[in-house]
Structure 1
């Protein structure tokens, strides 16, 4: 089960990053072209929103069944080793914050009334979320 969750979490990460990049680009083009924000635009943003939340859910499950996650935090050795601190503390915390930022961006766009502001909410908040996600990916583990 643990290995399957690891593969799912790693594979889904590629989809989330790709979806975020595409949605950010799409929203930026929509804002720059002064296009009206439509239901189609909201649904396109919803794809990255849903994928990022699924990724978070899988990640949280993995965090509690992994020997590198919650167990390292409980043992107290997480803060003294930077690699362990990344996987046990920084990665989950910053990624939760990133998903919250993406959620705020989607919610603001969904409730907004001005098209340009709705597009801006998506591309700015999703971009901040993407940067946070990229900053805490354990590259040495992920690309190995």
Structure 2
């Protein structure tokens, strides 16, 4: 695969993944605060956020291992921009996606709608904050 295609796909898919993640967090927050019943629609919204972030992770890992930037920057951790793209962005985003996955897995084991919404709100919300904190904004926008 072409490096430029993978990079553009990773950047483009990020918009969709972030949008679906925001929708999942807002939907769960509204469900939790309004004490509504957790429905199949709520489950699907959270599932789409989970799937989109996992696709983003897989594409990001492929990009990381084929990127000339990743290999060149490993010996130069004093450069903040290189450190962000080669270490901080991948590591923090893996942690974020683990949190999102924990939120999804945890909600399936919970009995009440309020607990399900809370699990998704908290874990997806933490994952979203971590992702937003480590996006290389100068490269992306």
Answer whether contact 1:94 1:133 (CA < 8 A) is retained.
yes
Aligned runs of 1:1-144 on 2, under 5 Å? 1-73=2-74, 76-77=75-76, 79-143=77-141
Change (3 A) 1:70 1:111: farther
SS for the counterpart of 2:69 is coil
**Greater CA drift, 102-111 or 30-39:** 30-39
Q: Supply the distance in 2 between the matched residues of 1:94 and 1:26 (Cα, whole angstroms).
A: 24
- For residues 71 and 62 of structure 2, the distance between their equivalents in structure 1, rounded to whole angstroms, comes to 10
* Structure 1 stretches of at least 4 aligned residues deviating more than 3 Å after TM superposition: none
CA drift at 1:71: 4.3
Shift of 1:53: 0.1
- What displacement does 1:111 show? 1.5
- Give the length in aligned residue pairs: 140
Aligned Cα RMSD in Å? Answer: 1.0
**Given the two structures, how large is their TM-score scaled by the length of structure 1?**
0.93
Query: C-alpha distance in 2, partners of 1:66/1:47?
Result: 28
Identify unmatched segments of 5+ residues in structure 2.
none
Q: If the length of structure 2 is used for normalisation, what is the TM-score?
A: 0.95
